[in-house]
Structure formats: structure tokens, C-alpha cells
Amino acid sequence: MKNAIILAAGKSNRFAPFTYEKPKGLFIVKGEVLIERQIEQLIEAGIEEILIVVGYMKEKFFYLEQKYKQVKLIVNNTYGKYGNIYSLYVAKAYLKNTFICCADHYFISNPFIDNNSDNISYRAATYYSKKFREFSIDYTDAKVISGCYIGGHDKMAMIGHAYFNERFSNKLRNLLEKEINDFGVANMFWEEFFAIHIKDLTLYMKEYDYDKILEFDSIDELRRFDSDFLLNVDSEIVENICSKLNCHPNDIYDISIIQAGLTNVSFKFTVDRTEYVYRHPGGTAGNLIDRKTELYTQNKAKEMGLDKSFIYMDPSGWKLSYYVQDIVKCDFINNHSQLKKGMEYLRKTHTIPISDDVKIFDNVEEGKKLWKIASSTKGNIFKEFKDLIDKVDMVNEYLKEERKKYNIQMVVSHNDVYEPNFIATKNGDLYLIDWEYAGIMDPANDICSIITRYEYNEEIKEKLIKEYYGRDLTDLEHRHVMGQSIINAFYWVSWGMYKGSLGEEDGFFLLPSYRYLVNNIDKVIESYKEM
């Protein structure tokens, strides 16, 4: 009796942004759900046991157990950390006479109905005359695979499914159980693991015509095969774009990711020869972002000429903008005209009228919320960093007293000011983008957001501060900026702790912000005590 294991745990980043809504295996291609087409081909071939290893958005596959009595799901919660060899490992108990498939394969004709009367283990392969990223192989006259390499050209490429007989499966299972915890093994593709043990695992090459087995590597490649893909993708992203640009799904082309941001993913696309950017909010953004505040400040930024690229933002968080052409690097340290205009933008930001739609952004309060979430995976970090947090609280109290004593008014602030959030162009235009962290804050906080996240020397920090104020600071003003910089650094350390606790990118500034905090906090406290 044969069974099948379908690997469906991965995220398929090359198909973003649509994989932010559903896994690639659930895409509709030519009227059929990819994984359902494969399941039905397996059932047609008489396969009565189909194991599907799920991970990313696993709940979206749950319905398959109700729809097909042959299907059983297996969960791989390490899909973001390890390679697909680990998906085979979690399904190792089911390895016998087994077809190994991927959820996004598209077989023109059913490859599981074959005459493999000798019950040999094989890997489907196709000859590619062009350069490719798949695994390439060498093989003997008897078509036994003798070499396996990542990428190649003008060679046979591993494309499609594989079949392991029981003898092969038993050897593979024993090797996996013995070596899965060895350094680097869990990060491999199963083909890499096979290559290491190629002398112990006999796998034949089974050739298929170039156009019989398809593995779509990009959205454009999929659309060439199915011109109506965007019509059937069931994507809110496509619906949103069409509703605002009054276009048809097939008018959207040249889709490409331009930034997997700190809390979002953004992609570029073209409609009617105009390039746009669509921002899709990330799954963890709700813990960080107040969308009501962002919407208010983003609209004001457009009105005031701070972000002329902005078109529309929905209260749920998705945003549509024009793609800015002729972009050049924003470099405040070496380009004085950029720095001057950037600081002008900050001062203009601080004139945005305060509204009930704008929340107060308290660095310390917001930071502690993030520490609390991070503690669920990082242990009791409040206890570990108690002395540092106590000092931050002390500085925060000094700042509150200082604002009250000297009537320092809170203002609408961007609160995420650093070079990546400025777009500069060849003709000297500047755009201040990404208003997600905006809120009512101390006016010094925006300039502090720059100096606490880069490891600048004192000369550069003083240059940036002076450029923002447009003059030399009084001793009181300078002490206040330094005090604000401490609680600003605390927030970005907290932010990095939080993102790291989720296993996500924690930005380049976690360590620089921490260094800034510990290297300056005692000096700031001493300056307040002297006052």
C-alpha cells in the first residue's frame, strides 16, 4: 500500500503579498485550488492515506480533513526556523512506500498513476536548458542519481514529486532520527540531506517532459500560465487596489516586493503605466500601532506637503501611495541640504493641530507594555534589567517636572524619525513617510529618534540637535534633549526586545539603542541632580 506526504508548511515569500493572506498551496489556478487538485490526483491513483504537513497559516488547511477522508494534517510549528527536511522529520512515522510532494506543485497529467512495477525510489526531473535555482543532478547510465547540487544550467533539474519505497524510507528515517539535531541539519532541504547520504540512499531519476510538471517561482510566471489568476486569487489586496484606482485585476502588473518592513510588507505594482506602492499591515502591528492616529497624521502630512506620495489609507491599516521615482540615498550626515529640509519637516510636523484622533505616545508606558509581552518568551526581563528600568523611571519623572516647570508643550510628533523613513530624490524632493508611530509627544523626541538609533559620535549628535533647533541650545534645553533621548532609547530597546520575542526582525538599532541608553543614563541623572 502506498501513501503520500504533502509538504505545505512554508510561507513562499516569493509570492508575497498574496501569501500574507493565504498559503500558496491554497491559491486557485485555472479554477482549482492547488493542493486540492493534487489531493484528487492522489486519490484517483488509489492513495488512501495523505499526510499534509502544515505550519504557516495552518488553520486555513483544517477544512481539508473534513472534505477528504483520506487526509490527515500534521503540524510543523518550526516552519519559520528550519528547512523542509524538518517537515519530513515530523512526518517520519508515515514514511513507507510514500510519494513526497509539495503543496504548490501543478501536474498537467496525473503522475501518481504509473507503472513503477519494480517499486524503485525515484525523483522526478526535467531537463532545463536555462539557468535554474532548483537542485541539479548527475546520474549514471542506469539513471541512478550520483550527484545533487543547488542550482545549475543545461542539466536535469529536480522538479516535482519523489517516491520513496519502504527500504529507502526506513534508511532515511534512521538517518533523520540519528542526525536531525546535528549542526545545520534541521535547516536543510531534504534534497541536501539526501546529497550528504547519496551513497546510502539509492534514488533513481525519472524524467518528465518540460511542460508536464510545473513549479511556479513567481507571480508573473503563474500569471503566464493562468492569465485570470488575479481574478480568482480571492484577495482583499486586489479588491482594495481596484476599488481605489477604478481598475480591473488584470490591469495590475509588475508586482514586486520593495520592503518587508518593521511592521508591514510593501510592494510596488503598475496600473496604466503609473507605478504605485501598496502597504499591507503586518500580523503583529496591532500591538504597536494606533491606526486612528496614523490615519489623522498621514492625511495632515499630505496636506502640509510632508508626504506628497500618499493617496489613501484605510482605517484597517492598508495604504496606497505613488511610487517615488529617481530615489537617491538619504544621508543627513554628508548631505546638508537633505538634513536642513528634514529638520524643517520635523518642525512643520510639530505644528499639526492636536486632535482627539491623536493618542498620547508615552515612551516609557509603551515600552513597558512591549517588555511584558517579550517576557513570555525571554523570561523575567523586568527583573534582569530592574536597575536600568528604575533609572529610566527616574529620568521620566525629571522630564515631567521639567515640562511643567518650564511650560514645555507636547506636540504631534512622528516618533519614528530616522533616515529610512525619509525618501530623497535626485531633484531634491523629500518625503517623510511611515506615520505609524505618530502621537502626542515631547517636541525633542523626533530628533532623539535619530541620535539614539545610530552610533554617532558626540560631534555628529550635537550637529543634528543644533540643526533641528536652528540655533545653539541653552543649558536647560540641552539637558532636556538628553533626558528625552534616554526614554526614547528605552522605547527602541523595548521594541527590539518585543520583535525578537516573536522571532521577527528586530531592526538594526536594538544594540545601538541599548548602548546609548546605558552609556548616557547616569550622566543624564547626574545633570538633573545638579539642577
pLDDT digits (tens, 9 = 90+) for 115-139: 788 999 999 999 998 899 999 999 9
Residues of the chain with CATH 3.90.550.10: 3-214
- 91 with 5: CB under 8 angstroms? yes
What per-residue confidence (pLDDT) applies to 464? 96
Residues of the chain with pLDDT under 50: none
Indicate the SS3 state at residue 455.
coil
CB atoms within 10 A of CB 161: 23
Q: Which of these, 142, 114, 132, 128, lies nearest to 45 by C-alpha position?
A: 114
Q: Which of 15, 20, 177 is CA-nearest to residue 85? A: 177
- What order of strands is seen across the sheet that includes strand 3-8? 71-75, 50-54, 3-8, 98-102, 145-164, 122-139, 204-207
pLDDT at 445: 97
CATH 3.90.1200.10 residue ranges of the chain are 345-530
Question: Among all chains, which residue has been given the C-alpha cell 493565504?
Answer: 22
Residue-wise over 268-281: b if at least 16 C-beta within 10 A, else e?
ebebeeeebbbbbb
CA 270 vs. chain centroid, Å, equals 22
Return the number of other C-beta atoms located less than 10 Å from residue 4's C-beta.
Answer: 27
Alpha-carbon distance of 514 to 531, in angstroms, equals 26
Q: What's the pLDDT score for residue 494?
A: 95
- d(CA 74, CA 91) in angstroms, rounded, equals 7
Model confidence, pTM = 0.84
What was the pLDDT predicted at 161?
A: 97
Distances (CA, A) of 279 to 269, 311, 316, 317, 421: 11, 12, 11, 8, 14
Q: What is the DSSP letter of 354?
A: P
CA angle 77, 81, 86 (to 5 degrees): 65
Question: What pLDDT score does 507 carry?
Answer: 72
For residue 5, give the C-alpha cell.
Answer: 506526504
What pLDDT was estimated at residue 273? Answer: 96
Q: Per residue in 213-238, pLDDT tens?
A: 999 988 988 999 999 999 998 899 99
Q: How much is the CA Rg of the chain, to the nearest whole Å?
A: 28
Please give the CATH superfamily to which domain 3-214 belongs.
Spore Coat Polysaccharide Biosynthesis Protein SpsA; Chain A (3.90.550.10)
Architecture of domain 345-530: Alpha-Beta Complex (3.90)
Residue 493 in grid coordinates: 530597546
Q: How far apart are CA 444 and CA 306, in angstroms?
A: 19
